[in-house]
Amino acid sequence: MGFFRRWVSPVGSSGFGSSSTAEQVTEGIDASHLTAIVTGGTSGIGKETARVLALRGARVIIPARTPEGGAEVKESLLRENPQARIDVMEMDLSSLSSVASFASRFCASSQPLHILINNGGIMACPFQLSRDGVELQFATNHLGHFLLTNLLLEKMKATAREAGIQGRIVSVSSAAHRRSDATWFDLDKINNRSDYKPFAVAYARSKLANILHANELSRRLQEEKADVTANSLHPGLIQTNLFRYLALNAVTRSLVSLVTPFFKTVPQGAATTCYLALHPGVRDVSGKYFSDCNEVTPTSYATDGELAKKLWAFSEGLVEKLFKST
């Protein structure tokens, strides 16, 4: 069903569906008083998300691995919208020290932070370890975002208190989380090269982690009565450079080419992210999982509160351990 979702998914209770675009779901919304960070904003649905948020008036900060790549993206966005407020800051999501440096620089600035979009990621790459010695997909897709969110959280809560505007944290997950179970909460298992399956194990694991992280974050924020929400989403199947590793294999390259006509466009792929970031219809909605701009139900693992707490403790301990070893 997932491959054909673009064509058969009806408009849901939100008034939007699989064919809705990021511009359509944010039409008429004034975001000129908001500041957002969009990870992975240099390409694909992240770039489209940054473009549409800026189109609605938001100041958008795009973390980029290299200053050159960031400058190129900023220039292209400004060519289309000269009034766009786009800033680029250097950050490598797969490196904990780089993430910490970015967060420190941002928090030291006078800028508020209303929206954090954890969008950046990598999919189905050959086995690699990050600079910190963690399997690259888990390091990039989950651990980098876990640290980034924690380091920016006080800034977001302070902004919400001072501005009286609810903060929003949006994590881009995937329906691929359905392939993952709860048997991998051990660094040796995550880093087990002999058992490495790029998509079905490693990518799926990181995407389940995205949902669990958002859910536990939401629980903690509600417990302390912070005016910040946290939700996760499946953007749909979109032909972006995330598929570059799958295309290395002749069989998967043929498969991707066959199903590409059923994929969403990039503007459609960014719709649910932009909906959760800006739409008034999701005010006070937190700890939920969305697809096609409507709430849907993920797997039982993804909704397991105890598992979410376990992941938080595991991630926290791992970050602390890795920082001590550097």
What local confidence, expressed as pLDDT, does residue 262 receive?
Answer: 67
Mean pLDDT by 10 residues, the chain (326 residues): 48 96 98 98 97 98 95 97 98 98 96 98 96 98 98 98 98 98 96 96 98 98 98 89 52 52 89 98 98 98 98 98 85
The closest alpha carbon to 86, from 71, 68, 108, belongs to: 71
For the entire predicted model, the pTM comes to 0.93
What local confidence, expressed as pLDDT, does residue 274 receive?
Answer: 98
Domains of the chain: 19-325 (3.40.50.720)
The closest alpha carbon to 273, from 36, 35, 63, belongs to: 36
**pLDDT digit string (tens) for 76-96?**
999 999 999 999 999 999 999
- What tokens were used for 238? 């979109």
- List residues bridging with 129 in a β-sheet: 135
Instruction: Give me the sign of the Cα torsion angle 286, 290, 294, 300.
Output: negative
Catalytically active residues are 196
